A and B are shown apart, each in its own frame.
Chain A
Amino acid sequence: MATEPVEHELEGGSATRSADGVAELEAESVPAIDRPNGLRRLWSWLWPKLAALALFIAAWQVVVWSGWRPDYVLPGPVPVFQRLAEDLSRSDFYVGVAVTLRRALVGYAIAIVIGSVVGLLVARVPIVRKAVGHAILGLQSMPSIAWLPLAILLFQQTEGAVLLVVILGASPAVATGLLAGVDQVPPLLVRVGHVMGARGLRLYRYVILPAALPGYVGGLKQGWAFAWRSLMAAEIINIIANQPSIGQQLQFAHDFADAEQLLALMIVIFFIGVVVDLAFGFADRAIRRRRGLLD
């Protein structure tokens, strides 16, 4: 029961706040729905995921036991997780994670800027839409790793080549998301903005961009997925000296036939991707709930 007050605090915006407000609320507004308490909700959210994970690990172990491939090619979960724990206790492991995350964040940030500017231009200027609207969609379906050979020619084996691939991978998704968001703004809201005296940039600032936010967040989320994917591909292929990135370590693990390390690194890559995706999922749901687009 200790969690209950916390729950009410979280829901303060929508739930009834005080007893005297209740009667008034029930008269006309939508009644507040009873929600299960926080711990329960966390558990009902968590247990299917844990169950799936357990099933996956069990299947993995069964395959290993079946002797389909020798241990040094396909190690079981126990040695892999031991290796992972070992890696996580080494400080130089975090140097590699930091290199990769830095590249991801820098590349993603630049992609957001470029994608947002391009998306806005396409949304706002009809001739730009006619000219490059389809090209952006085409670019989005192009595997960004196809840019890497060119990127290496242009930037040699430097971080610039890696970042270029990340930016080209992520920015079309960001632009597309923003464009979709702007296109789906209800015309009635734009008219209301007009009547209230918002024109030009002010109309964008106060009406169109806030209204387009859900679509934009969707684009940011997809952009992140593309950025992370492109980064891993680029890091595996484009090895840079003295930069022990995750992708590079993955490639080295392969070169030294160190299957335990390889699988441990894959778990790290998966984990980072899932955590970021979860953060986007929470942001997305929070925005939709605030606007009544979600129960």
Chain B
Amino acid sequence: MSERAVAVERLIKAFPHGEKPLVALQDVTLELQQGEFVCVVGASGSGKSTLLNVLAGLETASGGRFDVRGRVALMFQEAALFPWLTASQNVELALELRGVQGGKERRRIAHDLLERVHLLGFERKRPHELSGGMKQRVALARALAQDADVLLMDEPFGAVDAITRDLLHEELIRLWRASSLTILFVTHNAREAVRLGDRVLVFTSRPGRVAQEFKIDLPRPRSLDSPELAVVAGRITERLKQEMRPDGH
């Protein structure tokens, strides 16, 4: 059994909201082994993003425990690149903040990282000169530059077109398999979750809680169009719909 990378135990997050606090996360418990790729699917507003924000240290938990081994990087739905920096400089800044000394060394590493996300030749472009998919590639390179052990991804490909997304999936899997990265990937798309994850966790809405876990045994590489994948995704979607019905059953 490999080492545990993320452990979350009965995590609670509530926001002040009028008289009654709004409970975003209710007793969330989950574990990720090192090198595992786990997807969380849930409807909008089910607290998936809140979970990532708490794990990344952007928000404090209201109760429960969590433990993340090593460095954490977080990718958002928008690339959120710094518009005053070039693609390369965006990556270099992450390196600088991580403590990598020497501008030349940082440029060299940034060059390598951009090569890994297939963006050579675009180092000196500014974010507004790049397409949505390319921006997410830079964001991915920037996340890799943080030398994280755990990569949290909050619907990172939600805003790109289907074909670009498929390509980005392939590259993400390639990068993940070539590293020891542990990935927690949040999406509302069951097919995307099945395509990527070793396991898929279905989240309930309001409050967010892990309702069911699906182990995905499909062989890799997986294709979005394969019938096997569609069958599993269909079961997950069915489970999601159950959660979203007002009576809950």
CA distance A188 to B84 in the complex (A): 15
Q: Is the Cβ of A29 less than 8 Å from the Cβ of B93?
A: no
Segment at the A interface, from B101-109, B118-126, B172-180, B183-191: B118-126
Shortest B119–chain A CB gap in Å is 10
Q: Is the Cβ of B122 less than 8 Å from the Cβ of A29?
A: yes
- A interface residue numbers (CB < 8 A to B): 13-14, 21, 24, 28-30, 186, 188-189, 191-192, 194-198, 202, 206-207, 210-211, 213, 287, 290-293
- B interface residue numbers (CB < 8 A to A): 56-58, 72-74, 76, 78, 80, 82-84, 93-94, 96-98, 121-122, 124-131, 133-134, 142, 146
Q: Is the Cβ of A290 less than 8 Å from the Cβ of B131?
A: no
Given contacts A28-B131, A207-B82, A210-B82, contact A195 B126 (CB under 8 A): no
Shortest A287–chain B CB gap in Å is 8
CA distance A24 to B125 in the complex (A): 13
Contacts of B124 in A (CB 8 A): 13
Shortest B142–chain A CB gap in Å is 8
Across the interface, B76 reaches (CB within 8 A) one of A14, A192, A196, namely: A192
**27 A-B pairs (CB sep. < 8 Å):** A13-B126, A14-B126, A28-B130, A28-B131, A29-B122, A29-B131, A30-B128, A30-B130, A188-B76, A189-B82, A191-B74, A191-B80, A192-B82, A195-B58, A195-B73, A196-B94, A196-B97, A196-B142, A198-B97, A210-B82, A210-B84, A211-B84, A290-B126, A291-B83, A291-B84, A291-B126, A292-B83
Interface SS majority for chain B: loop
Closest to B98 in A: A197
Contacts of A210 in B (CB 8 A): 82, 84
Contacts of A196 in B (CB 8 A): 93-94, 97-98, 142, 146
Q: Is the Cβ of B129 less than 8 Å from the Cβ of A30?
A: yes
Sample of 7 more A-B contacts, CB < 8 Å, known A29-B125, A29-B129: A13-B124, A28-B134, A29-B131, A194-B58, A197-B146, A211-B84, A287-B84
Q: Is the Cβ of B84 less than 8 Å from the Cβ of A213?
A: yes
Shortest B224–chain A CB gap in Å is 21
Contacts of A291 in B (CB 8 A): 83-84, 126, 128
CA distance A290 to B84 in the complex (A): 7
Contacts of B96 in A (CB 8 A): 206
Contacts of B125 in A (CB 8 A): 29
Shortest B88–chain A CB gap in Å is 13
Contacts of A293 in B (CB 8 A): 83, 128
CA distance A82 to B166 in the complex (A): 73
CA distance A21 to B134 in the complex (A): 16
Across the interface, B58 reaches (CB within 8 A) one of A186, A191, A292, namely: A191
